[in-house]
Structure 1
Amino acid sequence: MRFTGKSIIVTGAGSGIGRATARLFAGEGGQVVCADKTDGADETAAMIVQDGGTAQAIRIDAGNEDDVARAVALACERFGGLDIVYANAGIGGGIPGLFEDTPETWAEVLRVNLIGPFLAIKHAAPRIVARGKGAIVCTASVAGLRSGAGGPAYSASKAGVINLVQLAAQQLSGSNVRVNAICPGLIETGMTKRAYDYAREHGKEDRIGGLNPLRRGGEPEEIGRVALFLASDEASYINGQAIVVDGGLSSSHPVTRQEFGKTAI
């Protein structure tokens, strides 16, 4: 029960990694604000309450400053303050071809995936500092480490998240508030559902995650458990880091070469 009495916000809590993590936090005594733009937030909160935990749902757009401020205010009003934020909400979007993508697509992906975590840090950090210590965790991606794991807009946004947590950790020096990121590999979520469904429909499920040494995709709970670790006192000396959870995918260089104007060979 590492989080008994702790006030926690999880964005993107309506499904996938966010839902799994919110339930794990609550299972260890956390009081969780489940934030999402869909009614999945209400469903996740209901699951937690049914399991005997404490949760409050709120509908927000994670890339909208007023909405993020409302979520922080709710946590403080309902649970007496704020100790932990998991800025997990994100979207895909964009197309594989860098030179065919549009500025409008990039703007929306960056708004949610990068400005969203910035807003979470901006509004949550002062409240967490007031508690004396705490943690902020953001979802980045292996796509933010190097090319080959996502589209250009998505990859650039996640690279920004990695740099953001480094900057935030430095700017919160002396506050006893730690800021870290998780870089998931291929995880079965709503964002990857299409790929998983296609593989299963065509009898190629055994190829899912085939490029990593574990030869499988990951589960949302496997990311959630890392988020809990980073938010807990067990990670009290980890700060400003991007922790990779990808089955070993990023331990190797690419096995295909991309030629300009041609398919990979």
Structure 2
Amino acid sequence: MGRLEGKVAIVTGAGSGFGEAIAHGFAAEGARVLVADIAVANGQRVVNEIAKKQYPGGGSAVFVELNVAQRGDWEKGLALAQSTFGQLDIVVNNAGTTYKKKPSVEVSDAEFDRVIAVNVKSIYLSVSVVMPYFVGRKAGVFLNTSSVAGERVRPGQVFYGGSKGFLNTVTKGLSAEYGPDGIRVNSICPLRGATGLLEMFSGVPDTAEERARFALSVPLRRMSEPNDIAKAAIYLASDEAAFVSGVNLPVDGGRLAV
């Protein structure tokens, strides 16, 4: 039996990067997954690839075009989960964005507004729309993709780090507020990884030399990989973590320790 068999999850930003790996990992453990993304082609590709895998235990996926900063899209996602699978058990708030590393005074209004919409407002909307449903069921899991930047903000990414600091604080607060209703809320805090945002975080071209340079700053001597995040997500979303809530879990190779 898969660790998520019988569960239904919505994973935002699941068309690439960490979200894609989480969607595959959940399906491999028997979950039925709503692959949610604004990038339609990428999201449909992930659904098709999951179908080709023929994961055991009923693991499967459907695509939903979802802008995480729009209430109506969250309502559509919840309705689709209920109409297609009869329920929703897990929300993975994975979608996120940033701006190219630069001095904070050079961040434009548009860049700042986008970070707030995708990294902050999306969390509010997911809670506003889905939490009442979870409260009614007396069960549910919220799992957020945060960042080590939420614990230690680096120069050049201050407003991005601030958005993840918000997420870490909200994770703890929601876990305390809704724990009595049987709802768990946790976050994963990845280190910079091999995703489409890598050059935005580093501010320099993505080369083998730059990856090697950065890896030397990590005690385990590498960047995070999408599967590192997926494995942590599977644990936190599963019943194995039934007594784990209010945690912002670093998956960073020990980077926050140095």
Task: After TM superposition, give the deviation of residue 150 of structure 1 in Å.
Answer: 5.9
Q: Which moved more, 1:37-46 or 1:15-24?
A: 37-46
Distance 2:108 2:16 in 1: 28
Structure 2 SS opposite 1:174:
helix
Q: Does 1:86 align with 2:87?
A: no
1:92-142 CA distance string (max 9 Å, x none):
116431223233322210110111122112222222333332211001101
For residue 70 of structure 2, what is the aligned residue in structure 1? 64
Alpha-carbon shift at residue 215 of structure 1 (Å)? 1.2
Q: Radius of gyration: which is bigger?
A: 1
| CA deviation map 1:29-68 (0-9, x unaligned) | 1000000010211111111111123111011111111111
**Superposition deviation, residue 84 in structure 1:** 0.6
Secondary structure (helix, strand or coil) at the match of 1:58 reads: strand
Compare relative contact order (CA 8 Å, sep 6+) and give the higher one, 1 or 2.
2
Task: Tell me, yes or no, if structure 1 residue 198 matches structure 2 residue 200.
Answer: no
The structure where helix makes up a greater share of residues is 2
Q: How does 1:1-265 map to 2 (within 5 A)?
A: 1-38=2-39, 39-52=41-54, 53-93=59-99, 95-148=101-154, 151-192=157-198, 198-200=206-208, 203-252=209-258
> Any idea what SS the aligned residue of 1:138 has?
strand
2 and 129 in structure 1: CA distance in 2 versus 1, 3 angstrom threshold:
farther
Q: 1:185 to 1:214 in 2, by over 3 A?
A: same
Q: Do the aligned partners of 2:211 and 2:223 also contact (CA within 8 Å) in 1? A: no
Aligned residues: 250
Q: Contact 1:94–1:106 at 8 Å: present in 2 too?
A: no
Q: CA RMSD in A?
A: 1.8
Identity %: 34
| Structure-2 separation of matches of 1:108 and 1:226 | 27
Unaligned regions of 5+ residues in structure 1, if any? Answer: 253-265
Asked if the contact 1:95/1:101 (under 8 Å) is kept, the reply is: no
Using the alignment, how far apart are the partners of 1:208 and 1:61 within structure 2?
32
Cα 1:45–1:193, aligned 2, differ >3 Å: closer, same or farther? farther
Q: 1:225 to 1:66 in 2, by over 3 A?
A: same
Q: C-alpha separation between the residues in 2 aligned to 1:170 and 1:42?
A: 36
Letter in 2 for 1:190: G
Unaligned segments of structure 2, at least 5 residues: none
Amino acid at match of 2:20: R
